[in-house]
Amino acid sequence: QVQLVESGGGLVQAGGSLRLSCAASGSIFRTNNMGWHRQAPGKQLELVAVISSGGSTNYADSVKGRFTISGDNAKNTVYLQMNSLKPEDTAVYYCKALTSIGTYWGKGTLVTVSS
């Protein structure tokens, strides 16, 4: 079994920054990629950013230039640095890990951006 534990969410004013972390633990043989999705109230889950084990990244158009995803393969941890936050970034952010033994999700961390 694999566990994903997110941290770093909270309340921030528009224009501010937050850094999310997601640590994976458990029976992980190899993590192929890890990333972040988010779900805003009344909206569907959407991809925010993903990073492969090789370091390649992909971002949603809405966060390009503002968010940066990074990872530490040795620690099975992924980070999401969020700058220039906007009220529309308000959502529950979920960590996702695609591993050699399956796909796993964290429980989510709430990010609230006030205007």
83 close to 67: Cβ distance less than 8 angstroms: yes
Our separate counts of H helices and E strands in the chain read 0, 11
Instruction: List Cα–Cα distances, 75 to 22, 31, 45, 70, 71, in angstroms.
Output: 10, 11, 27, 12, 8
**Predicted local distance difference test score (pLDDT) of residue 29:** 61
Hey, which residues does 82 pair with through a beta bridge? 18, 67
**Run means of pLDDT, 10 residues per run, the chain, 115 residues:** 92 98 79 91 96 93 97 87 98 93 94 97
